[in-house]
Amino acid sequence: MKPYSKEFRGEVLAACDRGRGTREVATHFNVSESWVRRVKQERRELNKVAPCLTRRRTPLWAAIADRMREVIREKPDLTLRELKAELQTGLSVQTLCTALHKLRLTVKKKSSSPRKGGGRMSRKGGMNSSESSRN
């Protein structure tokens, strides 16, 4: 959802400045009362009318980014679960994956457990070994 334009916010604030109540303004402009209160608060506290176009939230993994780089440099073949254990963090595996992507770091893709099912075997000439021994 796109943020409301600066002009629209200005119209809402102008209606509030003319003495109309929050509920009345919200109903007139078809917006929520909480949004009207928030716009008024932003103008009062931050002297701001324009919408924020970028997020300013710091990701949870930012605090351990340097440690992540260090661990990956020392042990580049860790899986994400092993990295989580090494960092002793409560962050999820997905959050660590996102952090590594943003930091342009790579780790081992899968654990080194034996494959199940034996996998696909190559055939000579489209026949398996039992068929070729019968001919």
Task: Return the pLDDT at 65.
Answer: 94
Residues in contact with 56: Cβ distance below 8 Å, sequence separation at least 6, in sequence order? none
Task: Return the pLDDT at 115.
Answer: 59
The C-alpha atoms of residue 68 and residue 81 are separated, in whole angstroms, by: 13
pLDDT digits (tens, 9 = 90+) for 18-76: 999 999 999 999 999 999 999 999 999 988 888 876 667 889 999 999 999 999 999 98
Task: Return the pLDDT at 123.
Answer: 61
The token pair at 108 is 């081992």
How buried is residue 3: exposed, middle or buried, by Cβ count under 10 Å (0-12/13-18/19+)? Answer: exposed
Lowest mean pLDDT among 10-24, 54-68, 79-93: 54-68
- Confidence check: pLDDT of 112 > 90: no
